[in-house]
Structure formats: structure tokens, C-alpha cells
């Protein structure tokens, strides 16, 4: 067994919250710059230029890329040979989120109760997804999620007989319904299979894949390419003001499912699809 202290976890999560909010992943940066070159609408091109200036400015001055610094979604992969010392893992993660948002001067956007709506003033609670893995390491990914895009999440329990084209139709419909709300150019995460909650989690997890990668399975890579082409033909464009760049990428993750079902979920990331990771 290897000991990892809560103190170290808290410090790491703190730093990842600041890093993720201020430094856009390089693959997303490059995709925005590339889209600027290919965008056919002059207004769309100008907006992509503004987005580039914005993320470069944030990067250089360590300022948040967007005013919506999100709810902290934290993916933890815990090696089975790790022994957490000094408290509870979830408390350590939440303490790191609180420190990161308060000390990093990131906007605190979380209310403690969804109906009585009082801001917790430290962006907790975080959403923590824990997976047990082999080994003696602890991997942490912080993915702050803004709610302009989160509110556009769609889930449909498709009939199993509808086939792959109906999955592509549903993805395109979800993006079309979202319009300008998720701040395009977007990243489209899709979860297919499992149960309703598994499909939704896969869709969120799909937003972590680098936007310049494709599915390793040619069958799913083909569906991703078809969905992306149809989404970019919708004409929504950068910030919804028209153009040929609505999405930078479509990523589909799949899982086994029941013979009687075909759950399909879409989770959209805005042009600030952010995440930062560390391995302890």
C-alpha cells in the first residue's frame, strides 16, 4: 500500500481548479485557431479571433477564460493499492475546490440547495466521480463545467431497433435545439448505452477526449464524423451568429446495454471546454 495524504490531494485540487479555469487545453486552442482559418462567415471569423485573443490573454495573466468558472466536476481514479491518510477523500477534494476558487479569485457559482439557492461562496460541493483502478497512483482531473452549456444536456431512451442513424439524428437535434445557448464553437460529448445515468456520465466524460482525436473504433469514428458534418451544416456558427464552425469535435463513448434499450445522452462543452489533470 502507498499512503497519499488528504493534504496533498487538497493542494493538488486547488491548483488544478486554477489551472483549468485560466489555461485552455492546447488541443482546444489549436482547434479554435484552425477554425478561424476555415470559417466562411466574416462575423464568425472575427468572433473566433476574439476568442483566441481572450484565451491567450487569460493564459498570459492567469485570469479565468470565462466569467462562468463552472461547477467543479472532478474525476478521480484511485489505485486499489493507495491508502488515503488524514481524512475522507471527498472532503479533501471539496477542500481543494474551496481553496482553488476562493484563493484563485474564481467566481463562486454554486448554491448549497437547488431550491432555496444560497451561494456557498466557495463553489462546493464538487461533483466527484470515483473509479477504482489497478496500482498505487491517484489521478485527478478537474473539469469546471459552465451551465450555459450544461443546461443544454439531452437524454433520450431510444428504441433499440432505430439504428445508428437515429443516434446521429438525436445528436444533431440536441445541438440544433441548443442553438447559441452553449456558446459555440462547442465540443459535443455523447454517451450511448448503459443505463440512463451511465449514458449521461459517458457524455460528460467524452468532453475530456482531446478534440483532435477520433474514436478508435472505425464504426463510431464514422458516426462522429457524420454528426460533426451535419452539426456544422446547421449554420449556428461562432457564438450563434452564423457560420460554418458550430462544433470543434464530436466524441462518442459507448457501453453495453440492455436488449430492450438504447440510452443516448448529449453533453455539450462551450468554447471553453476545460480540464486539468495530475497524477499523485
The answer to whether 184 and 238 have CB atoms below 8 angstroms apart is: yes
Min CB(117)–ligand LMR separation in Å: 14
Min CB(94)–ligand LMR separation in Å: 21
| Cα–Cα distance, 261 to 82 (Å, whole number) | 37
Residues 6+ apart with CB under 8 A from 180: 236, 239, 240, 241
Min CB(270)–ligand LMR separation in Å: 7
Q: What DSSP element (H or E) covers 51? A: helix 42-61
108 binds ligand LMR (CB under 6 A): no
Q: How many residues bind ligand LMR (CB under 6 A)?
A: 6
Q: Which stretch binds ligand LMR (CB under 6 A): 40-48, 145-153, 166-174, 226-234?
A: 145-153
The answer to whether 215 and 251 have CB atoms below 8 angstroms apart is: yes
| Cα–Cα distance, 3 to 256 (Å, whole number) | 35
118 burial (CB, 10 Å; 0-12 / 13-18 / 19+) is: exposed
Q: Which stretch binds ligand LMR (CB under 6 A): 54-62, 142-150, 163-171, 257-265?
A: 142-150
Q: Which residue lies nearer to ligand LMR by CB, 2 or 105?
A: 105
Q: Which residue lies nearer to ligand LMR by CB, 87 or 148?
A: 148
241 binds ligand LMR (CB under 6 A): no
| Cα–Cα distance, 79 to 175 (Å, whole number) | 37
The answer to whether 108 and 70 have CB atoms below 8 angstroms apart is: no
Segment 167-226, which members bind ligand LMR (CB under 6 A)?
A: 183
Is the bond preceding 185 in cis, omega lying within 30 degrees of 0? yes
148 binds ligand LMR (CB under 6 A): yes
Min CB(68)–ligand LMR separation in Å: 3
| Cα–Cα distance, 232 to 77 (Å, whole number) | 34
54 binds ligand LMR (CB under 6 A): no
Nearest residue by C-beta to ligand LMR?
A: 148
- Among 176, 180, 173, 88, smallest CA distance to 125 is for 88
36 binds ligand LMR (CB under 6 A): no
What DSSP designation does 240 have? G
Query: Which residues on adjacent β-strands are paired with residue 183?
Result: none
63 binds ligand LMR (CB under 6 A): no
How many residues can be counted in the chain? 280
67 binds ligand LMR (CB under 6 A): yes
Q: Which residue lies nearer to ligand LMR by CB, 143 or 223?
A: 143
68 binds ligand LMR (CB under 6 A): yes
Radius of gyration of the chain (CA): 19
65 binds ligand LMR (CB under 6 A): no
Min CB(148)–ligand LMR separation in Å: 2
| Cα–Cα distance, 41 to 28 (Å, whole number) | 20
Min CB(182)–ligand LMR separation in Å: 7
Q: Which stretch binds ligand LMR (CB under 6 A): 48-56, 80-88, 143-151, 205-213?
A: 143-151
Footprint of ligand LMR on this chain (CB under 6 A)? 67-68, 146-148, 183
Amino acid at each position: 500500500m502507498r499512503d497519499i495524504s488528504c493534504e496533498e490531494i487538497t493542494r493538488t485540487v486547488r491548483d488544478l481548479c486554477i489551472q483549468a479555469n485560466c489555461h485552455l487545453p492546447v488541443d482546444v486552442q489549436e482547434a479554435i485557431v484552425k477554425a478561424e482559418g476555415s470559417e466562411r462567415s466574416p462575423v464568425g471569423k472575427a468572433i473566433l479571433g476574439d476568442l483566441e485573443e481572450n484565451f491567450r490573454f487569460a493564459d498570459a495573466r492567469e485570469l479565468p477564460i470565462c466569467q462562468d468558472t463552472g461547477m467543479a466536476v472532478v474525476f478521480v481514479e484511485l489505485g486499489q493499492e493507495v491508502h488515503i491518510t488524514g481524512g475522507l477523500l471527498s472532503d479533501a477534494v471539496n477542500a481543494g475546490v474551496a481553496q482553488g476558487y476562493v484563493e484563485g479569485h474564481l467566481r463562486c457559482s454554486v448554491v448549497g440547495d437547488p431550491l432555496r439557492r444560497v451561494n456557498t461562496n466557495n463553489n462546493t460541493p464538487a461533483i466527484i466521480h470515483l473509479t477504482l483502478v489497478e496500482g498505487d497512483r491517484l489521478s485527478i482531473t478537474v473539469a469546471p463545467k459552465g451551465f450555459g452549456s450544461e443546461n443544454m444536456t439531452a437524454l433520450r431512451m431510444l428504441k433499440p431497433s432505430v439504428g445508428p442513424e437515429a443516434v446521429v439524428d438525436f445528436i444533431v437535434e440536441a445541438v440544433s435545439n441548443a442553438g447559441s445557448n452553449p456558446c459555440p464553437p462547442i465540443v459535443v460529448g455523447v454517451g450511448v448505452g448503459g443505463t440512463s445515468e451511465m449514458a449521461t456520465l459517458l457524455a460528460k466524460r467524452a468532453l475530456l477526449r482531446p478534440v483532435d482525436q477520433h474514436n478508435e473504433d472505425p464504426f463510431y469514428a464514422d458516426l462522429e464524423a457524420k454528426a460533426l458534418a451535419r452539426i456544422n451544416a446547421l449554420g449556428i456558427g461562432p457564438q450563434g451568429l452564423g457560420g460554418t464552425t458550430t462544433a470543434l469535435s464530436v466524441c462518442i463513448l459507448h457501453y453495453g446495454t440492455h436488449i430492450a434499450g438504447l440510452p443516448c445522452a448529449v453533453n455539450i462543452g462551450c468554447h471553453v471546454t476545460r480540464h486539468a489533470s495530475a497524477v499523485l
